[in-house]
Amino acid sequence: MKTQSRLEKVLASGALAVTSEVGPPRGAIPEKVKEKASLIKDHVDAINVTDNQTAMVRMSSWAAGVIIKQMGLDPILQMVTRDRNRLAMQSDIIGAYSMGINTMMCLSGDHVKFGDHPMANGVFDLDSIQLVQAVRKMRDEGKFQGGADIKSPPKMFIGAAANPFADPFELRVMRLAKKIKAGADFIQTQCIFNLDKFEKYMEMVCDRGLDEQVHLLAGITPMKSAGMARYMKNKVPGMDVPDDVIKRMEGVSKEEQPEEGIKIAIESIERLKKVKGVHGFHIMAIEWEEKVPQIVEKAGLFPRPVV
Amino acid sequence: MENFEPEIVAFCCHYCAYTAADMAGSKRIAYPPNVKIIRVPCTGKVDAIHIMKAFEKGADGVYVAGCLEGDCHFKNGNTRAKYRVEQVQKYLTDLGWEKDRVAMINMSAGMGEFFASTALEFTQNIKQLGPSPIKHFNTDGHQTAVS
Amino acid sequence: MITAEQKPLKEIIEYISPYDRILLVGCNECVTVCAAGGRKEVGLLASALNLHSLKQGRTIDIKEITLERQCDPEYVEELVSEIDRADAILSMACGCGVQTIAERYKEKPVFPAVNTKFMGASQSQGIWVERCQGCGDCLLGITGGICPVARCSKHLLNGPCGGTSDGKCEIAPDVDCAWCLIWERLKALGMEKRYEEIMEAKDFRPAGGGGPRKIIREDLSL
Ligand code: SF4
Ligand code: SF4
């Protein structure tokens, strides 16, 4: 075991892991973090805490993570390289680890252009792969980026993201290999709606033997409406929503669409459970956290293992 | 204002507008004497600075008359001229002048009557706008304006 | 080359409004090529400023000069004979030219008439695109001749990010994704393998992180 991370233990036990996420509030409202985390606490192994998601200022991910930790739960600290240089990132990692956070996700982050501070300067001192390298170097070599030794280095279980659907498709597996080489222990993927394409991707992943080197959690997002499905298809960069999914959502009445969206999510999990290399699920129920327990239960992923 | 007679400079392409003006003359189709014609080998030869200098020297209006679009003798001189006219329009706007003091007009060599009618129309437009904003200074080149 | 664009007239007029005698200085290099501050633009700006002041009921004396290279003290020296007859200098060169003048003629105010934009190349007539950020440690040799520092919106050295679609960058459909271009080029060169090599975190000292940069060539400096 590389770390104290509960997620690492669950994955090591061979069970399918389940993670979900909490987006911190845009204000000093710690209750909001607690409220969101409480909704999912019994149904997941760890909770991603997003970092200035969509490039909008929010409560810092490590502070919200600490709140969640204090509830006795297991936060996954998300960190985007957009907002901090390597000094700030390393110090936040030490800080978060000192507060009991032992799992993190390394991301580059959406461009500032998409948020409410388009006039800000994006930092990108490191990219996501270099951040993975940096966190591993801290943990395994006990060294800072500058080369100095760390007294009592932070031991983080290291996650990274993968988007099996972004262009060019042929690069996707190579890029995953790069993240693994950099030191990623687990991967959470972009929301999967195009299951055929994802299965093809996983075949390629397994052909290279990458499934043996990393734990891949498949991203699942329940859709609330046909409108949301269309929006994701047309407006979100790098998202692949096939037409038959949209048709299926449109095929039922407006009132039944949320239920249909959840059904699709559950069916997807059932199908993906059988895919070689899938070691768990990352459920991103955007502003719909209350539905996570239902999805986890109906997909046969409840109760969560005790490790 | 009533008896304001504007000074207008027309840069006319040798291959079209200038010939058209000639034809208007020989056919005795009258056009306002306010329009001073400057013959150019192609309107592509007219630079923004020439138009600006005309204004500096006291012109109330300037237009560039070139061949019909697609008919330029030198391929795209008239298109270039159009962009330069737009460039000057932008300058004038930024300076708080009326941008319609400068215009691009297209015609062919055979359009003598059209030449005369556009000359008249442009002159009337400028009369409407009134004298150039620097007219009240007895300008003579860009360093000697005195009031 | 260095690209630039003329500042709004209003801003230029504000700068020079207290002065009667202006030395308007263009440059024959980059800003001439990108049509922002060469002889032609100097003439046009002078003309526009004249029209403005005449309308205001005053006259200003604008002396137009276009130097061979405004970022070179040798050429800036040519202004010596004019400087006493000017109350202020208006420069149409890039920021380097403006500063060379400011350094040489300390007693005269100097104002920029253009906004210096980026190091770029001409894409087609009238269109210039950013190509280099002078990072001081050129990577083009390993990125297939396409710069990730200047052309990836996130300066990623290990791209592309998850936001690319159809070869375009996530920030806008009319911006090419630098990493898609790099990948295509590596493929064309038969260098796909290179893609899987991780590019280490960049040392930003040569890029300016180590303070203002300087090149000293002892073989050339006297
Ligand atoms: S790698 Fe650096 S020096 Fe080379 S083109 Fe890019 S910014 Fe310029
Ligand atoms: S889409 Fe391409 S160019 Fe844009 S930020 Fe991502 S990797 Fe860089």
- Cβ(C145) – ligand 1 distance below 6 Å: no
User: Considering only CB atoms, which chain B residues are within 8 Å of C10?
Assistant: 94
pLDDT band at residue B139 using 50, 70 and 90 as cut-offs: very low
DSSP code per residue over B33-76: TTEEEEEES-GGG--HHHHHHHHHTT-SEEEEEEPPTT--TTSS
Distance (Å, whole) CA C7 – CA C91: 11
CATH code, domain carrying A127: 3.20.20.220
Report the SS3 class of residue C16. helix
Residue among C43, C44, C54 minimizing CB distance to B145:
C54
**Does residue A305 lie in a domain region?**
no
Residue nearest to atom 4 of ligand 1 (CA): C138
3-state secondary structure of A195: helix
Q: What does the alpha-carbon distance between residue A100 and residue A72 come to, in Å, rounded to a whole number?
A: 10
Is residue C153 less than 8 Å (CB to CB) from chain A? yes
Closest residue in chain C to residue A170, using alpha carbons only? C183
**Whether residue C126 has pLDDT greater than 70:** yes
Sign of the torsion angle spanned by Cα atoms A85, A90, A92, A96: positive
C44 touches chain B (CB under 8 A): yes
Strands (E), C49-199: 61-67, 88-91, 110-112, 114-124, 127-132
Domain that holds residue A152: 6-298
Average pLDDT, chain B: 91
Report the separation in Å between the CA atom of C161 and the middle of ligand 2, taken as the mean of its atom positions: 6
> Are residues C54 and B91, on separate chains, in Cβ contact within 8 Å?
no
Is the shortest distance between the CB of C102 and ligand 1 below 6 Å?
A: no
Residue pair C195/C185 in contact by the 8 Å Cβ criterion? no
Q: Which residues of A touch C195 (CB under 8 A)?
A: 171, 174, 178
What is d(CA C90, CA C113) in angstroms, rounded to the nearest whole number?
6
pLDDT tier at B141 (50, 70, 90 boundaries)? very low
- Which atom of ligand 2 is least distant from the CA of A111? 5
Domain count, chain A: 1
Predicted confidence at residue B2, as pLDDT, reads 60
Model confidence, pTM: 0.92
pLDDT tens sequence across B35-70: 999 999 999 999 999 999 999 999 999 999 999 999
Q: Mention every residue, 6+ apart, whose C-beta is less than 8 A from residue A163.
A: A172, A189, A190, A238, C162
A44 inside domain: yes
- The ligand whose atoms approach the alpha carbon of C166 most closely is 2
Homologous superfamily (CATH) for C2-118: Response regulator (3.40.50.2300)
Query: Is C209 close to ligand 2, i.e. is its CB under 6 Å away?
Result: no
What is the phi/psi pair of residue B33, to 5°? -70, -10
**Which of A125, A168, A190 is nearest residue C162 as measured by Cβ atoms?**
A190
* Nearest-angstrom CA–CA distance, B51 and B60: 11
Q: How far is C181 from chain A (nearest CA, A)?
A: 10
- Answer whether residue B140 shows pLDDT above 80: no
- A251 has a chain C CB within 8 A of its CB: no
Q: Angle at CA A214, nearest 5°, toward A105 and A45?
A: 55
Residue B142's pLDDT is what?
A: 41
Do the chains contact at C162 and A168, CB–CB below 8 Å? no
Interface of B with C in 37-66 (CB under 8 A): 47-49, 52-53, 55-56
Record the tokens describing residue C61, joined without a space.
């004396």
pLDDT tens, residue by residue, C23-36: 999 999 999 999 99
pLDDT for C40 beyond 80: yes
Q: Which of C158, C186, C200 is the best substitution to test chain A (most A C-beta atoms within 10 A)? A: C158
Q: What domains sit in chain B, N to C, each tagged with a CATH number?
A: 8-136 (3.40.50.960)
pLDDT in tens, C198-207: 999 999 999 9
The 10s digit of each residue's pLDDT in B110-131 is 999 999 999 999 999 999 999 9
**Of A63, A106, A61, residue with least CA distance to A86:** A106
Note whether residue A54 is domain-resident. Answer: yes
Contact between chains at C9 and B91 (C-beta distance less than 8 A): yes
Looking at residue A287, what is its pLDDT? 86
How far is residue A110's CA from residue C177's CA, in Å, rounded to a whole number? 14
Chain B interface, mutation test: which of C24, C39, C54, most B Cβ atoms within 10 Å?
C54
Cβ of residue C4 lying under 6 Å from some atom of ligand 1: no
pLDDT range class, residue B146, cuts 50, 70, 90: very low
* CATH 3.40.50.2300 segments of chain C: 2-118
Q: Which one-letter DSSP state was computed for residue A256? A: G
| Paired tokens of A1 | 């075991």
Residue C214 neighbours by CB distance under 10 Å: 5
Q: What is the pLDDT of residue C154?
A: 97
**Low-confidence residues of chain A: pLDDT under 50:** none
Q: Is C210 helix (H, G, I), strand (E, B) or coil?
A: coil
Assembly ipTM: 0.93
C38 CA to chain A: closest CA distance, Å?
A: 31
Residue nearest to atom 1 of ligand 2 (CA): C169
The pLDDT value recorded for residue C220 is 92
Is position A61 within any domain? yes
- A82 CB near a chain C CB, below 8 Å? yes
Contact C183 A171 (CB under 8 A): yes
pLDDT in tens, A22-64: 999 999 999 999 999 999 999 999 999 999 999 999 999 999 9
Indicate the residue of C158, C163, C177 with minimum beta-carbon distance to A127: C158
Residue with CA nearest ligand 2 atom 7: C160
Q: For residue A237, what pLDDT is reported?
A: 79
